[in-house]
């Protein structure tokens, strides 16, 4: 397990028995957090078929640089035939995704257990199916 702290966000990484990396982010995902988180996410998405769950439920704020790092992680995972699942923060995250044209880009799950239970082999038909988080707006 790895713990790391920045001025604006903290994160914790754990690996499941099947190799899925679960990264739990806390605080604000903003310009100050991105440099450190970018290094960590790049390392987790460097190999073949990375399998990553990002738990954003404790995140209190996401700015455009935070969205950018999520998109970068998604693109790196997809280019390596892997899988990225998000557990979104509460509030208006679905509306934020819609407003930025990112609605439907990420697999969203209501919690980490659901994201892990939704695990399917990358490239399989069920890998693209996610239990959607209800749209709040």
Write out pLDDT tens, residues 43-102. 999 999 999 999 999 999 999 999 999 999 999 999 999 999 999 998 888 899 999 999
As given in the structure block, the two tokens for residue 65 are 């640089």
Between CA 86 and CA 39, with CA 109 as vertex, the angle to 5 degrees is 10
Task: Specify the CATH superfamily of domain 2-118.
Answer: STAS domain (3.30.750.24)
Domain assignments of the chain as residue spans, ordered by start: 2-118
User: From the CB of residue 81, how many other CB atoms can be counted at a distance below 10 Å?
Assistant: 12
pTM of the complete model beyond 0.85: no
5-46 per-position pLDDT tens digit? 444 678 899 999 999 999 999 999 999 999 999 999 999 999
Helix (H, G, I), strand (E, B) or coil at 82: coil
């Amino acid at each position: 397990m790895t713990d790391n702290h920045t001025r604006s966000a903290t994160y914790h990484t754990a690996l499941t028995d099947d190799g899925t990396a679960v990264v739990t982010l806390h605080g604000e995902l903003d310009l100050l957090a991105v440099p450190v988180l970018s290094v960590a996410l790049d390392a987790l998405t460097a190999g073949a078929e990375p399998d990553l769950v990002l738990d954003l439920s404790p995140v209190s704020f996401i700015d455009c640089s935070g969205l950018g790092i999520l998109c970068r992680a998604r693109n790196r995972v997809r280019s390596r035939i892997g899988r990225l699942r998000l557990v979104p923060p509460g509030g208006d995250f679905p509306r934020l995704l819609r407003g930025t044209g990112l609605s439907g880009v990420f697999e969203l799950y209501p919690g980490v257990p659901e994201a892990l239970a939704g695990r399917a082999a990358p490239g399989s038909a069920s890998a693209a199916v996610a239990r959607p988080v209800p749209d709040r707006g």
